[in-house]
Structure 1
Amino acid sequence: MSLLFLALAVAIYLLLASLLRTLHLYALRKKYTHLAPNPYTMTPQTAHTILLPLFTHEFPFSYALSTQTALLKSYAIPSGTSLLTSTRRLTTPRAVGKRSEDTAIFISELLASSIDSERGLKALSKMNWIHRQYGTRIRNDDMIHTLALFVLEPLRWIDRFEWRPLLQVERVAVFVYWREIALRMGMVGVPGTIDELGIWAAGFEEGNMYFAESNVACAEATVELFVRALPGWMRGVGRGVVAALIEERVRPLLGVREPPGWVVKVVEGLLDVRAWAVRVLFLPRWKGVPVGGVVDAKTGRVRREVYAFEPWYVGESWWLSILKKWTGLGLWMGKPLPGPEFLSDGYLPEELGPKEFREKSRADVLADAEKMGEYARQGGGAVLGCPFAFGR
């Protein structure tokens, strides 16, 4: 009898999970019915309200993972990697961790806070300031291609490895929002639709994506960062998993060794099993995943609570301090522990990026944020039809 009740409880739960996901999807379609005839009429502000739940509720796993593969894919463009290797911003063990964490924070500020918020304006202005330091060495088309990767890679990942494909209105929302970011970064010639962006990116890659030693240096530094926390005997397996996550055509351009076929099948199989489990076994997420960190009400500084590789801007709690003193190593499970060397007092958006630019850029960044705010109040690129003049 107990087995019967258990089977009945499981059946009811599975039915409930299926029903709630069906109702959730129905509600989404109904909510955006007015945009269905032409979703490109949505404003960047509307796009943000559609995009944010994808990032925090619907597909946080695939969104986070796809941004990492997008960065790796960007390293197959020698015109970009040659600059990265010459500045040593990515190829030294000490620099690669901070750059990776800063990149994640920039994306978080732009997507979670929105580009019209005070934090988003400052973060985007700081990105623009950093890019301006390299002048014409950062090409307009290279920037558009990186933008395309941040649009197209998450869409590809979600459609292939998530519990449901994206709705067309969601796909367009991702594009509209990132296109506005591109205009506020001063990019010119940005395609006007997501299909045009895909065609543009394919054409750009045909002429600009090829093997170079600078690609290898950037990819190797990043892959090493991914597997750094693993025990030595597991790093080979970790490298194989990372290789399996990279598109087959891109691997040789990065100097990444081709993984065994069985590794690719296992990785893709696990991702497929995860998608099935989320679709069939899990209830819809009621609460979004934590994004950003804790904001100090007095100073405005953000202390992060989670990190990927190195604890930059993570607050140093009392128990971590004890653990650090007890171990004497400053490491836990292969990862460094928070501390002053990782700026544990937190960050302001205008301080992100290389430490040597922290004070040097502050006045210019804050001034640009004010100007960009006025640009946004006039409607931004979506209304004005021209890039932000201070973006480059």
Structure 2
Amino acid sequence: MRTDRYRDLRHLARLDPDREYHAIYRATMLTEFPWQARLGLNLAFYQTYGIPRVAAILAGTGQITHHTRQRAKATGAVMFTLIEHGFDHPAGRAALRRLNRAHHALPATHNDHLFVLGATLLVPLRWISRYGWRDLTDVEIRAAHRFHTRLGHLMRLRDIPDSYASFGKWFDAYQTVHFAPTPEARQLMRASQRLLEDRVPRPLRPVMRRVGPALLDPPLRTAVGGGPVPRVTELGLHAALRAAALLQRTLRPRVRTISDTGHGLPPEPGDAARKP
């Protein structure tokens, strides 16, 4: 194992998660666990399909079902720009304004919006905890919660759970009460599944079609009509992801930035003079 693999981790351990939460969270998501974070944030967005009220709103706009690629790119651009630049950079302020405009235009409840915030915090970190090349530290978890707490406040959300653990309990309880299968959820998931299939070579698309539902947790799988997944598929996917984590642990890390992936958002005119 390469000893320099833990160099960044030692640096992060010396930072204060209450004051330097953005630097810690940025490193966790973009440097330490780049592909797990990207997949986890995609899975977090799919969580919105499980709430019938939100699924009906999203399906009603037609953006996901008819403009799937553009909507996915725009959503990813906003979140990754915030992670890359934080809330005080001009690009971050522009992304936050776009996020607030999009959310305030939707007739969802306050707790629905809080659930979405919880999904962006919890789903990627839970995925990293399962398939990361190392364990997350308490510093990284506290910084992630602090980052999302500030994001929630800037989105004018209230009653945000005061710790990662308490947010997890609230999130799971909300999912248990509100998740239900709907035609809209199935429609949204089919569109997202087609997009995932388009991103792999054509010969591999049947494999993606079979493996895709195994990426979803059971409550979401039920809500979007994914059906049962063969045990051998689950075991095969788990083994492949663990092997990828082991390979990642043996290699020197490469810093990932927004410029690597085309997710940067240009600042809007006047951003430097405006606050979100």
Distance 1:228 1:22, change over 3 A: closer
How many residue pairs get matched? Answer: 276
User: Which residue identity lines up with residue 102 of structure 2 in the other structure?
Assistant: I
Report the Cα offset of residue 123 of structure 1: 1.1
Which of 12, 22, 29 is the matching residue for 1:55?
A: 29
Corresponding residue of 1:111? 83
Corresponding residue of 1:121? 93
1:177 aligns to 2:131 (yes or no): no
Distance in 2, Cα, partners of 1:25 & 1:47: 14
Corresponding residue of 2:115? 145
Distance in 1, Cα, partners of 2:54 & 2:257: 32
**CA RMSD in angstroms, aligned pairs only:** 2.3
Q: Percent identity?
A: 24
Distance 1:176 1:71, change over 3 A: same
TM-score normalized by the length of structure 1: 0.65
Q: Is the 8 A contact 2:179 2:219 kept in 1?
A: no
Distance 1:257 1:231, change over 3 A: farther
Corresponding residue of 1:219? 189
Distance in 1, Cα, partners of 2:10 & 2:85: 27
Residues 269-288 of structure 1: pairs in structure 2 closer than 5 A = 269-279=239-249, 281-283=250-252, 285=253, 287-288=254-255
Q: Deviations over 1:305-335 (max 9, x none)?
A: 647xxxxxxxxxxxxxxxxxxxxxxxxxxxx
Structure 2 portions without partners, runs of 5+? none
Structure 1 portions without partners, runs of 5+? 1-13, 294-304, 308-345, 351-361, 373-392
Report which structure shows greater RCO (CA 8 Å, sep ≥6). Answer: 2
Corresponding residue of 1:348? 266
Distance in 2, Cα, partners of 1:72 & 1:61: 17
SS in 1 for 2:208: helix
User: Which residue identity lines up with residue 258 of structure 2 in the other structure?
Assistant: V
TM-score normalized by the length of structure 2: 0.91
Q: Deviations over 1:66-119 (max 9, x none)?
A: 011111222111111110111111111xx1110000011101110101111011
Distance in 2, Cα, partners of 1:50 & 1:101: 25
Higher helix share: 2
1:84 aligns to 2:58 (yes or no): yes
Q: Is the 8 A contact 1:126 1:349 kept in 2?
A: no
Q: Is the 8 A contact 1:105 1:292 kept in 2?
A: no
Distance 1:231 1:55, change over 3 A: closer
User: Which residue identity lines up with residue 21 of structure 1 in the other structure?
Assistant: R
Q: Deviations over 1:325-372 (max 9, x none)?
A: xxxxxxxxxxxxxxxxxxxxx96355xxxxxxxxxxx8xxx68x8242
Distance in 2, Cα, partners of 1:170 & 1:118: 25
Report the Cα offset of residue 229 of structure 1: 4.3
SS in 2 for 1:75: helix
Q: Deviations over 1:29-74 (max 9, x none)?
A: 3x14xx5xxx5xx13xx10011111122100010001011111222
SS in 1 for 2:217: coil
Residues 112-261 of structure 1: pairs in structure 2 closer than 5 A = 112-134=84-106, 137-230=107-200, 234-261=204-231
Distance in 2, Cα, partners of 1:227 & 1:110: 27
Distance 1:277 1:130, change over 3 A: closer
Report the Cα offset of residue 23 of structure 1: 5.4
Corresponding residue of 1:354? none
1:21 aligns to 2:21 (yes or no): no
Distance in 2, Cα, partners of 1:370 & 1:22: 39
Distance in 1, Cα, partners of 2:140 & 2:120: 14
Report the Cα offset of residue 213 of structure 1: 1.1
User: Which residue identity lines up with residue 157 of structure 2 in the other structure?
Assistant: M
Report the Cα offset of residue 24 of structure 1: 5.0
